[in-house]
Chain A
Amino acid sequence: MNGLYASVWAETLKIRKSKMFILTLIAFSGIAITMGLMVFVSRYPELVGNSAMVGAKASMFKDDWTSYFGLLIMMILTLGTIGFGTITGWVFGREYSDRVVGDLLALPVHRFTIVLSKFIAIIVWCFLLSVILFLFGVATGLAVNIAHWSVDSAYHYFIIFMVTSIFTMLLSTPTALVASYARGYIAPIAFTIGTLIVTQILFVGIPNTTQYFPWAIPSLYSGVSGAGGGTPDMISYIILFSTILLGFIGTVAWWRFADQK
């Protein structure tokens, strides 16, 4: 039984037994189903009767698979960023807020392994949520019979969706550092929302800088950010992966060297 296996086992047990796990499964599947139903409502606005708000929202959803896939990608960029950030903040921050971190610091398992196993658990959890969002979205879309379905198109957008999702989940490494530094999960959630707000401000105010802001790059890659956003280049990807790497190294270094009071 090696340290990584034991540590990943422990992390998955903690996740499986948490309310957070069930809540995220419900949230991601529920939102995916809602997306499909909104397209259905946009086709039959009389279904919502006098509800102007639902009617107005539904009008934003086009009865077309290309638009619908775009919506799903938009969801993974927003809901994914918030969801993955919250998950990361919880996995690292709960050790401090539940005051159990001491149990992980003087073990035969190296602290690097503890941190690595947490990231592995986060990636698996986030990957599962991404697949659920896509599959439930597609299933609901098929159920409400959205126009112009094609397997080739579905595969094409699935790849973009998953790569966008992977970029988004990997960008959680700085969030882990914030959670560890702040010793809780409020600060990482605030940090995640902050990155989302800054990304939006950059897209609206100075779109030509978005290529160099790590949290905007998944959106640029996916192509759903619109014409003003530009396309990510080599430097963009270097910035993206440097941010991910620095977040990871920073978190490992924090667990390894910082005083754990």
Chain B
Amino acid sequence: MNKRINEEIIRTENLSKNYGRIKAVDGISLNVNKGEIYGFLGLNGAGKTTTIRMLLGMIRPSSGASYLMGEKVHSGSHNLWNNVGYLVEIPYSYPELSVRENLEITRRLRFIHDANAVDTVMEQLKISHYQDRAAKNLSMGNAQRLGLAKALIHNPKILILDEPSNGLDPAGIVEIRELLMDLAHNQGVTIFISSHILGEISKIATRIGIIHEGKLIQEMDSKELHQYRNRSLLVDLKNKKDALELLEKRGFNPTLTEDGLIEMTLEKALFHPEDVNFNLVQAGLSPSMLKVEEEELESYFLRIIGKGAF
């Protein structure tokens, strides 16, 4: 039991924030253990950034509380931030200062005595080439890398990142994903990462929480994700009319999709596509295609949000 408590790095208890009558965040309770990557998924305006700002003590909760490494977060808990790196929304930097100067400010304000820390993190994020460039002249991707460099410069135990893939090109997204996975799996860094793209989050997160209209509507291990997604068996062949009749008789409950494919969602079809194939071949209706298709992540996400509960 104690071991479990010690491992708990991020915890929120019934965390809520109201702006007048609007409930921006409504009673969110979650916890993230050491070395986990928690994907916090939601549409724009779902309450992700407000939750992250409360985790960072930038916004006072209307009720509830958040804890980092067991310590309650509030606007005066400055010692806590030695262990936390963060990136909130679009990472802006002082526009007229160079990349190096922006990082130098962060280094000093974080009391990092190692003067090489700036060079190390620039190398890590591959922005050394731009070190003398003013932040206002950086591309969006490099501005994002600079933001991540500021979050990582002090080798924090906790990383709280709001949409860190924004503005990165596909290669950059993969690179940052690998960096974050390395930090979590090999260095035990606990990462709380928000996004509105389930496909991206599912590649990195060990656990996923879905927030909608301020409420945490679903939490799952990323391994469980495929269990929740709708699956269907799709069949293509020439004589669809006869095939539909046959499969109906055999109790597979087939339907025709908009694309003109035969679709079955019953478990007996999903788990035994060979039975479907056998029945069709026996009747002289050989399929030209037969595949089990898993629901797209984005359509799953939208379905969950549309239902409001799982």
Contacts and interface: CB of A to CB of B under 8 A. Distances in A.
Contact of B108 (A6, A98, A260): A6
B57 interface: yes
B105 A106 contact: no
A19 B109 CA distance: 24
Nearest to A95: B94
Interface string B46-80: 00000001001111100000000000000110110
Interface in B72-117: 75-76, 78-79, 81-82, 84, 86, 88-90, 92-97, 101, 104-106, 108-111, 113
Given A10-B109, A102-B88, A17 B101 contact: yes
A100 B94 contact: yes
A26 to B, nearest CB: 17
Interface string A1-45: 101001101100110011100000000000000000000000000
A108 B92 contact: no
B145 interface: no
Interface residues of A, number: 29
Contacts of A6: 108-109, 111
A257 B76 CA distance: 9
A22 to B, nearest CB: 11
21 contacts: A3-B109, A3-B111, A6-B111, A7-B109, A13-B97, A13-B105, A14-B97, A17-B94, A17-B101, A19-B96, A98-B94, A99-B90, A100-B93, A102-B88, A103-B93, A104-B109, A105-B58, A107-B109, A108-B111, A109-B109, A111-B78
Q: 8 shortest A-B CB distances, which residue pairs?
A: A6-B108, A99-B92, A260-B58, A10-B105, A106-B56, A259-B59, A106-B81, A110-B78
Interface of A: 1, 3, 6-7, 9-10, 13-14, 17-19, 98-100, 102-111, 256-257, 259-261
Interface of B: 53, 56-60, 75-76, 78-79, 81-82, 84, 86, 88-90, 92-97, 101, 104-106, 108-111, 113, 150
